[in-house]
Structure 1
C-alpha cells in the first residue's frame, strides 16, 4: 500500500541474511505506511521470496523474537474466510527512521489509531553477526595427483602395464615439436597385452536392387527398399525412368506392380499399360499422391474390356496415344479420336466420346472436372 515499508525492508531493516530481507520485503508490499496490517499467507511470502513455506515459518518466528515484527490487529483480515485467513503482522519500523513522521501520524489518525512515538516504536537492535563456515581460514587439503597414463618417451606402456623401459604398448610421445610440426604430437598406439588391436571394420553390403545385379538398379533407377521383382514392377520402373514424375517406390511400387502383373496375365500389353498410366500428364494441381493417380487409372482401365494386341504402337521415349479396339469402333462411327475423362480431379481415366471432357459415366453422375 505504501513505499515506505518496502524501502525500510530493502535498505534499513537489521536482518541477518538475504532470506530475512526477502521475507520482510514481501510483507511490506501489503502494509500501510506505518508498517501495520501486513497479512499475506506463508505460501504467498514463499513465492515472492523464492524459499520454502516451512522456511518462512521459521524465519517469522526469528523475526518476532528479535522485535522486527509483531502480531497486529487480526480484525484487519476478518473479511477473509477463517479457514484461509492468514496472521496479521505489523512491521515495527522505528520512529526515528520515518522521514516525515507527521504525515504518517496523520494517516494513522484517519484510521483511528494513536500516533507513533519513540516509546511505542523504539530503535531496533543491530543485526546478529553472520555465521561463518566452520572451515573458514583453514587450508584446503591438496588433491592427489592423477597417475601418469600416457607413458614415457620410451614407450613404457599404458597405466596397467609395469612401465619398464623397452616394453611395447601405450602411446608414444616423441619429444619436441608442436601441433604444426611433423615430428611432434602423439603417435598411433602400439598393440600391447592390455591394448589389443581391434578388428577392422567390415565392408558394408551393397543394397540389393530389383534386377538382382551386383551393381543394382533397373534402367538406372535405384529402389529405396527391397521389392520383389516381377513384370509389373519392371514395367512401372521403366515408366518412371522415362517419366520421373511417375516414379513409384516402396509399398506403392509393390502394390501397383502386382496389379500390373495381373493385367499383363489377362492379356493387356505393356504398350497399352504404358498409355493408361503415363499417356497424359498428372493433374494440375495434383490433390493426391502419384500412386493414387496410377491406381485410379489402372482401375478405370480394368472396368473395360482387354484391348486387342497390336492396336497400339507407342515408343518408349515418347509414347503416342493408342486406340484400343474397344474404343476404336466407337470412334470410327463418330469420326474422332478418343481422349481420357477429366472427371474426379483427373483420376477417372475412362475414354470420352466426340472430344468431350467427361466420359458418359461421369456425365450421367453429374461429376465436374
Structure 2
C-alpha cells in the first residue's frame, strides 16, 4: 500500500509510462519497497505499454536511482528459465509517515532498518525533452503555399472538366469545383417515369393495373384476375400473379375447369387471423389440389341456360353447386369436423396433413366410420 501511494503521488517520474512501470513494481513490493519481481509481460499489461518499452523504462529508472536490483533469492522458487529480476523501490526515508512500523516489519524479516543514509532523498525528475522545432513555423510544400490542402489547377480547355477558383473559404460561394459545361436544366421529355404505366399495361376491372402487359397474359392470368375482380380479398398482382398463373395454366391443361379452380382458390374464406400473404395461401391451396389427378369436367349452364364444357370461362358463367358439393364429398378430406377441404390421400378419407396430425389411431377410427 505504501509503495503504491508513493508511486502515484510523490515519485519523481517523467511521464505516464514511467509511472505505469513503477506502479506495476509497487503492486508486488513490501511496504519498504523491496522484493518486487513481476515479469516484464505483467508490467507491460499493467502499464499498457510494449515489453520493449518496459525494458527501456527499467533502465532509465535504475539510472536515476528510483529502483535498484534487489535480493535475487526472493524469486529463487521460480524456475530459472522464466525467473524475473528482483527490484527494490528506493522510497526515501523522509517520505514514510511511520518509519518505525516499517522498520519493525523489516526486523521481522531479518533485514536491517532503513536510515537516511541507505534511503536518501531522490533528485527531482529532469525536464521532459521537447521537440527541437517547437514554436517554429512549419515548412510548407510548394503545393500548399496558397491555402490549405492541394490545389487543383484550373481547366481552361473546351473539352469539359472542372475548375477550382482561387481564394475564399469554405463558406464563400466562390470556392469549390465548377463545371464549365453544366448539364441542361430541362430533362428529356421522353424519359419514362415509374409512376406512369406503359401503354400496353392491362387495366383490371377495379381500375388498377396488375403489372402484366397484354403480351404476357395467359389463361391463368385471366382466371386469377377475374376471381380477384369478384372477390377482392383474393386479388393477386405483380410477380405473385405471374407465378401463380403458371400453375393455374398448367392445371387447366391437365383438365381442371375454371369453375373447379375458382372453388379451390376462393371456395373457402381466408383464415382468420391471416398469418400469411394471400399469394402464399393461394399457392398452398393450388399445390394441395394438384397432388390428386384432375377431376372430371362438370358442365355448368350460363345465364342463358346453355351448357358449357368448361373450356372457356368468363364473368357470365356460374357453378353447379350441387355437382361441386358431390365432388368435394367424394374427393376432399373430411377431417377436422369436415372443415379441411384438402384432397384426400390415395385410399384414405384424410389428407396428408390431417393424417400426420391425428395419428394412426384417429386415422383408423375415421376410416372405419367412413366405411
TM-score, normalization: structure 1? 0.68
Residues 196-223 of structure 1: CA distance to partner in whole angstroms, max 9, x if unpaired? 23366566535699x9744565442444
Of residues 257, 270, 282 in structure 2, which corresponds to 1:294? 282
Q: Which residue of 1 aligns with 2:35?
A: 37
The within-5 A match list for 1:215-230 is 218-219=204-205, 220-223=208-211, 228-230=216-218
Q: Which residue of 2 aligns with 1:144?
A: 145
Q: Which residue of 1 aligns with 2:350?
A: 361
Q: Which residue of 1 aligns with 2:297?
A: 307
* Alpha-carbon RMSD: 4.8
Of residues 253, 268, 273 in structure 2, which corresponds to 1:265? 253
Larger helix proportion of the pair: 2
Q: Which residue of 2 aligns with 1:205?
A: 192
Alignment CA distance shift 1:300-1:30 (3 Å) = same
Residues 117-155 of structure 1: CA distance to partner in whole angstroms, max 9, x if unpaired? 1222122222122212212343455863339xxxxxxxx
2:195 matched to 1:195? Answer: no
Alignment CA distance shift 1:221-1:32 (3 Å) = farther
How far apart, CA to CA, are the structure 1 residues paired with 2:334 and 2:224? Answer: 22
Residues 298-344 of structure 1: CA distance to partner in whole angstroms, max 9, x if unpaired? 24434251331317999979x9986373743797xx9xxx987565x
User: Secondary structure in 2 aligned to 1:198?
Assistant: coil
TM-aligned CA deviation for residue 59 of structure 1: 0.9
Q: Provide structure 1 residue ranges, at least 5 long, that are not aligned to the other structure.
A: 148-157, 163-168, 173-178, 352-358
Determine if contact 1:279/1:320 at 8 Å carries over to the other structure.
no
Determine if contact 2:256/2:295 at 8 Å carries over to the other structure.
no
Q: Provide structure 2 residue ranges, at least 5 long, that are not aligned to the other structure.
A: 166-170, 304-312, 363-371
Task: State the aligned residue count.
Answer: 323
The within-5 A match list for 1:1-369 is 2=1, 4-140=2-138, 144-146=145-147, 159-161=154-156, 195-198=180-183, 205-206=192-193, 213-214=199-200, 218-219=204-205, 220-223=208-211, 228-240=216-228, 243=231, 245-248=233-236, 252-284=240-272, 290-302=278-290, 303=292, 305-310=295-300, 323=321, 325=323, 327-328=325-326, 341=334, 349-350=342-343, 360-362=349-351, 365=355, 367-368=357-358
TM-aligned CA deviation for residue 224 of structure 1: 10
TM-aligned CA deviation for residue 16 of structure 1: 2.1
TM-aligned CA deviation for residue 7 of structure 1: 1.7
User: Secondary structure in 2 aligned to 1:112?
Assistant: coil
Residues 335-357 of structure 1: CA distance to partner in whole angstroms, max 9, x if unpaired? xxx987565xx875248xxxxxx
Alignment CA distance shift 1:361-1:215 (3 Å) = closer
Alignment CA distance shift 1:365-1:329 (3 Å) = closer
Residues 149-202 of structure 1: CA distance to partner in whole angstroms, max 9, x if unpaired? xxxxxxxxx94449xxxxxx9899xxxxxx9xxxx978xx99xxx712336656
User: Secondary structure in 1 aligned to 2:38?
Assistant: coil
How far apart, CA to CA, are the structure 2 residues paired with 1:76 and 1:242? Answer: 96
TM-score, normalization: structure 2? 0.68
How far apart, CA to CA, are the structure 2 residues paired with 1:235 and 1:37? Answer: 93
